[in-house]
Structure 1
Amino acid sequence: MSKKHKHPHHEEHVDESWLIPYADLLTLLLALFIVLFAMSSVDAKKFEEMAQAFNSALNGGTGVLDQTSPIETGPDNDKKKNETEDKNEAASASAADKERKAQMEAEQKQLEDLKKKVDNYIKANGLTTQLDTKLNASQLMITISDNALFASGSATVKPDSRKLAVAIGTMLVSYPGYEIVVSGHTDNQPISTSEFKSNWDLSSARAIRFMDILLSNKKLDPKLFSAIGYGQYRPLDGISNTTAAGRAKNRRVEVSIIRKFIDPENLSQVPATPKE
């Protein structure tokens, strides 16, 4: 009887080669989380050293941490951030300054053009002794003698002078957006009538009546207009109310076209409030 040869039983082994890359992956993830955690306080130099150490140990010096830039923190980074912000602010301020300068130059040209038109009207109508214009750092002011506008002690604009007010209003239409202040001034001679109990009343009423004629032009915006009465308390600079000639000059109506853009460096050119 023949003997059967029994073949030895070979146990089958499960392929576990996948565990190696899996373990490497877990190690890399652990390293990455450690690095991310440390990035909140690590500086650039330490981060670079750590990256090189991890890459050298795990991948022979080349890996995911190569060429990685950390988020820098600390005083040096704050300084750089502040310097960048300062540069941005300076650039923005420079652009704003250039824009404002261009606007101021355009406004200067407009007011010079308006002054020229008024001066030409004054000359053409023989009003050089009754009207005057002055352009300074804050406004264009048109000064009109009260003799050209009102009878003594009255706030009713003379018929011939209404033409002047209408002409000024027509000129202002071409220069929209400016605030217009109409102010009335008297001398220091007291007044007390049934219509006006003081120079305050008279100067205010004269300013309002002249403004009314300006605003008869419906192309002008009433929101930009105001009327003020100063009585005798704002005499012209250097002009005293102690003489008849001085009092005549101080009785006036002023139409002020206020600048939109005032250069602080030129404010010294604005005359101080005149005193008696």
Structure 2
Amino acid sequence: MSKKRREQHEEHMDESWLVPYADILTLLLALFIVLFASSTIDSQKFNAVKESLNAALNSGAGIMDSKSMSDQLIDKSQMSKDTIVELQQLKKQMDNYIQENHMNAEIETQITNNALTLTIRDRALFDSGSAVVKPQSRSLIEAMGDILQQYPKYEVLVSGHTDNQPINNREFESNWDLSSKRAINCMKILLENPALDPRRLVAVGYGEYRPIADNATAEGRAKNRRVEVTIKEKVME
């Protein structure tokens, strides 16, 4: 081979090895991230890992791209953990009030999907077919307001629910009307607390259309007649 041809050959060396090398680096990064996520039982962090990993692999993001994925994962998981801790504290305060006032049979508290929901049987708040809160029940809603004012970053949804038995009296033409008015009246009592920002509260009536039990039985219908107060961290705009 002539000297000139050798020089041309050297100038066009095969660089295809760079592609599998880059893939190996990406896989190593994936391995480290998975090991980092599996070192804790925090499901929120694990889901965040999967999202970031998929984004990196699909977009071909390099190892040295801007902000590291591990920093983003720590930020997300820490925020979620704080939210859960605060909701657990709030639930404990509510549960203590419920127990002290012997209302365990009337109110249930549950944390799901990063929200605390209080389910209140309608008989604890209203007479049958009425949306007027019983005088002896106002203290319950007022106590809820006192607790909620300690958590200003949370929104409050008050929702009314009925069974599927038709209602048609001089005040309410339908279950929509009854459930909506019950939710609004409960919200109004909460708003008597001047420390609660009205922008945090929403009231809605669902009528008979979101049952939690079978309307075919009296027991099921009793469970469906309820007011739910859902407390959830508001979305930052």
Moved over 6 A (4+): none
The number of equivalent residue pairs is 182
* One of 194, 206, 210 as aligned partner of 1:230: 206
Contact 2:119 2:226 in 1 (8 A): yes
Corresponding residue for 1:185?
161
Return 5+ residue gaps in structure 1 as ranges: 1-44, 47-75, 262-276
- The answer to whether residue 223 in structure 2 is matched with residue 242 in structure 1 is no
Q: Which residue of structure 2 lines up, in the alignment, with residue 94 of structure 1?
A: 70
Q: Which amino acid aligns with 1:155?
A: A
Name the counterpart of 1:155: 131
SS at match of 1:86: coil
Once the two structures are superposed, what CA deviation does each residue of 1:189-219 show, in whole Å capped at 9, x if it has no partner? 1011121100000000000100111111111
The residue type equivalent to 2:117 in the other structure is M
Q: 1:129-148 to 2 correspondence within 5 Å?
A: 129-148=105-124
Match of 1:252 in 2: 226
Identity %: 49
**Equivalent residue, structure 1, for 2:147:** 171
Provide the TM-score with structure 2 as the length reference.
Answer: 0.71
Contact 2:214 2:221 in 1 (8 A): yes
Counterparts of 1:19-30 in structure 2, within 5 Å, are: none
Unmatched 5+ residue regions in structure 2?
1-9, 12-17, 27-59
Q: Which amino acid aligns with 1:242?
A: A
C-alpha distance in 1, partners of 2:65/2:93? 42
SS in 2 for 1:209: helix
* Alignment RMSD: 2.3
CA-CA distance at 1:85 after TM superposition: 6.6
CA–CA separation in structure 1 for the residues paired with 2:133 and 2:223: 18
TM-score between both structures, scaled by the size of structure 1: 0.61
Q: 2:89 maps to what in 1?
A: 113
* Distance (whole Å) between structure 1 residues aligned to residue 233 and residue 108 of structure 2: 18
Partner SS, residue 69 of structure 2: helix
